[in-house]
Each structure stands twice: as C-alpha cells, then as structure tokens.
Structure 1
C-alpha cells in the first residue's frame, strides 16, 4: 500500500506493528529468533515491527505460529484489512467498474446526519445533475482507464443516492470555489442546467450552499476536496486513491478547515448572484 500523509493511516499501522511486537515479547523471543522460525531475513522482522513494511496475511499467520499465538491471527488479519481499507487505490476500487464504487458508499450516506463537503473544482456529487454527472464519470472512466464501461449504471447509482437530500433529518453544508461555477468537463448547456439546479437544491431548508469568491486577501487558500460525515470520518479523493480518515484529531482539523473556508464564503442572494453571473457568461 502506498505511503500516505494521513496520520490516521500511519497510526493504524503503528498499532498493528505494536501488537505484533507484543506477541514476540510475550513468547520470550527476539527478532532473530522470530526470523529463524519464520525462515525470514532479520531485516524483515525489523521492518514489520517498526511499521516500515506492511505485513501480508500470510506473514501474520507465520508470525503468530512462531509465537505460539495462532488463535490471534484472525484478529490481527482483520486489523490489517482495516488499515488497507483506509487508503485504497482507484484501480482497486474501480476494477469492477464505476457503478459498484457508487453503490458501496450509500450506507455511509444513509447513516450520516450532518454532511459537510468542500469542493474546489467541481460540484459535489449530491448536487450534480444527470448530465453533469455523466460528464464527470465519463471523464473518470477515460482518465483512469477503467476497463469496464458501466458509466450509465454509475450515473444512475449517483442519482439514486441523491435521495438522502430529502429523506430523514439530515443537514447538508456545501462549499465550492467560485471557479467551479465556470469550470466544466461538458458544454455550456450542461453547465447552465447545473447552475440552475444549484438554485433549486439551495432552496431546500436543510441545505446550505456557500460560494467562496475569487479575490485577494484570502485567509485560507484552496485545499483538497473533502467530505465530513458527522464527526466520524473524512473522505478525501486524491489523484492516486481514496483516503478515509477516522483519527479524531485529524477529523477535527478538517472540521476546523471547513469552518475557516465557510467564513470566507457568501450565501443566499450573494451566492445566487455569482451563479447568475456565471450563467450569463455562458451565453
């Protein structure tokens, strides 16, 4: 798994390595003993026990067997899978096509009551029209060279997910940079339809849409796009993959960043004026 800057991922790796070190200690062994029992070079034990190398499931089974703790292998492998799930490459997520990745996220949306999303370049999925979504996912399919072409099904899945906007007692706060109003992967007609849709969705009582104007003297420059689900987790879409952050202190950092960006945004009539101006510029 590629290295990530997220402290959530690194802390999870460290905790797994710590549990493996404890097994060695409890068994009365040292690193050289363990390496000999497993048939490994001692440097491998050192790398795994210091979280510099991610063990495989087979490595964990061998480690536990050498320590006389085979009964703990299942739990440790489950921890390994959790670490692997914190950062997932797009190739792995989308190997079965785009529809599956859209559907897999629905349960997270359904159990969340307070959503906050910041998007610097494109409109968040919950705000997208059918045409805009089709342009976005067609671009993803082309750029990431997804083998299976199920874009139509993926678009339908994203449209279905938008029902959470109108179901239950949920609150949504969206922030977009003003540049997103004029940026698009499609044509002027699709972008105009999208901007008009923003005005409609923004009128819902449980939805807030803020636009951060272009200008000098900003207190916080644009950052990577992110979603905050209650205070349970943050998801970030990176160029290389999908990052899930659950470390409370790190989730708080994103919540604070959202608050800072929200303080720079305009809402209501001022936001609608920027949208109208963007529509006029489309001709």
Structure 2
C-alpha cells in the first residue's frame, strides 16, 4: 500500500525523489556514500530516494549539502511541503464542505497586502456577487460530491471579500474576456455580476485589466490555469482536482513572469469598460 494519502501526493513525492536521485548521480556518489556524508543509514537514503519515506527539511538540506547542491535545498523543501499541503486541501473539501475552505483562507487574505490574480475561467471570488457565487458553488458541490453548505459558504466568501474595501490591500486583477461570456447562473445572474464588475473598477484598491479574446499571443503568453499570487511569496493554482499551493522560489518566479506578460496583453480603464459593456449587451 502507498504510504501517501492520494495519487496526487504520491506523484509529487515521486517527482521529488527523482530530483534527489538526479542530484546524487550528478555528484557522482553512491547511495552508501551519500548516507555516510549525511550521517545516517544506507536504508534511510534508499527509502527517501524511492519515495517510501518523506524527507524532513533537515534531510533535504543534508542531501543537497552532501551532493554539493546546497543552493537547491530551499526549492526542494518548498516542493516537499507543497506535496503535503495538496492533500490537506482536498481532504477539507471532501469532508467539511466549502464554508470551511472560505473561512480557512480568510487569515491569508487579511494579512496579504498585494494580490496578483489571473482569472481564465471564472470571476475571482473577491469580485463575485452572492448570486454568481451561489450558482458557481452549487455546480462545484454537485460535481465534487461535497456537503451542501453552499449558502453558508457564500456568506463566508462575502465576509472574506471585505478585504477589498477594508485595510491596506491592493488587487491587480487580470480577467480573460471569455470569462465575461461564460454564463454562470443564467443571463440575469451574469448581468448582475458584470454590472458589479463595472462598479468595482472605481475602487481605489483595485486594478482590473481585461485580456481581449482576439489579442495576439504568439510572442507573449498563452491562456493559463487560474491563479492567485499572495505578496509574491505564495501562489494558489486552481486545477480541477485540487488547489495547488506553490512556494518554491523558482516556480514563484515563473508565475510572476507569466503575470507580467499577461498584464501587457490586457486593456484597462475605458477600453476595459467597453469590453465588459459589450458582454452585458450580448446577454440581451
């Protein structure tokens, strides 16, 4: 039996173990020699390298030092922690519903000062109207078989969204034009949501850019999965099976560079308003 709680976590652990093996091979040392340099048993090295036993932070630092690759330790530690966090997110969704997920992330929203958000599928949560959030969460709960706590979850999301209006928070938001045309909850719900989006553009804490569907991406960036950057130190990536947490410095840099390129593709101010108004007109 796998020692890890889900295939996703096992895949992440296996990938980490493969990276550790590559470091050892690149250093030109055997598992026995690595164990000697780290001061532990050969069996422990084997268990870590074969993804049988998850390594600790100290284990990863020792492994990298033994291989002369100390500069890679922090990335590997972040990847190791991310693998564990992946399962926690999924388990919470399955066992306790969506209200708990909204409330669990509230402290992160409250302490974050700069949000960078790229929306390729749905309107970001902090800009959603109650009707839009209700329609969206109902669909998600039905698909994933989560407990039906949609009403409470929507209330929790609305409370979490107060950070847009309170405190010293800034939101740089990029929305793909197709999101404006993807109907969640029907025409009336979408009209209300798009009207609310227009009104939100007046908030001093928000910068909203719309990436036109017809924009030329050949030399810039392709459409990506939806993600949120919290103060340039943590990223949540929204996938079908899980919400992935990225903290590895090298991976953070990739998403930040992607966001910068996507920002260059967006239109702002009056041009963005025109795109949104056209989407509202298309509902009639």
TM range (shorter): 0.7 to 0.9
Aligned-partner Cα distance in 1 for 2:171–2:281: 27
Deviation at 1:168, TM superposition (A): 1.3
Q: Deviation per CA, 1:239-274: give whole Å up to 9, x if none.
A: 111211111221121111001001000011111001
What is the 5 A alignment of 1:29-48? 30-31=41-42, 46=46, 48=47
Matches within 5 A, 1:102-181: 102-146=102-146, 148-181=147-180
* Root-mean-square deviation over aligned CA pairs: 3.2
Aligned length: 245
Give how far 1:276 is off.
0.5
Name the SS for the 2:209 alignment partner. strand
- Residue 170 of structure 1: how far off its partner (Å): 1.2
User: Against the structure 1 CA distance between its residues 253 and 80, is the aligned structure 2 distance closer, same or farther, given a 3 Å change threshold?
Assistant: closer
Structure 1 position 55, deviation (Å): 4.0
Q: TM-score, normalised by structure 1?
A: 0.77
Give SS of 2:135's match. helix
Measure the CA separation in 2 of the matches of 1:22 and 1:237. Answer: 41
Contact 1:139–1:185, Cα closer than 8 Å, also in 2? no
Q: After superposition, what is the alpha-carbon deviation per residue over 1:129-156, rounded to whole angstroms, capped at 9, x for unaligned?
A: 000000111111011111x211110000
Taking the aligned partners of 1:29 and 1:10, their CA distance within structure 2 comes to: 20
Work out the CA distance in 1 between the residues paired with 2:16 and 2:143. 29
Is the contact between residue 232 and residue 251 of structure 1 (CA under 8 Å) also seen in structure 2? Answer: yes
Q: Rg: which structure is higher?
A: 1
Judged with a 3 Å threshold, the aligned counterparts in structure 2 of structure 1 residues 50 and 194 are, in CA distance, closer, same or farther, namely same
Q: 2:261 — aligned with what? A: 260
Return the TM-score normalized by structure 2: 0.76
- The C-alpha deviation readout for 1:145-194, integer Å capped at 9, x for no partner, is 11x21111000000001100011111101111100111022110000000
Give the match's secondary structure for 1:123. Answer: coil
Contact 2:99 2:153 in 1 (8 A): yes
Asked if 1 retains the 8 angstrom alpha-carbon contact of 2:209 and 2:267, the reply is yes
SS across alignment from 1:199: helix
1:1-283 to 2 correspondence within 5 Å?
A: 1-4=9-12, 10=16, 25=36, 30-31=41-42, 46=46, 48-50=47-49, 52-55=51-54, 82-88=81-87, 91-94=90-93, 95-146=95-146, 148-215=147-214, 217-218=216-217, 219-283=220-284
Runs of 5+ in structure 1 lacking a partner?
35-44, 61-78
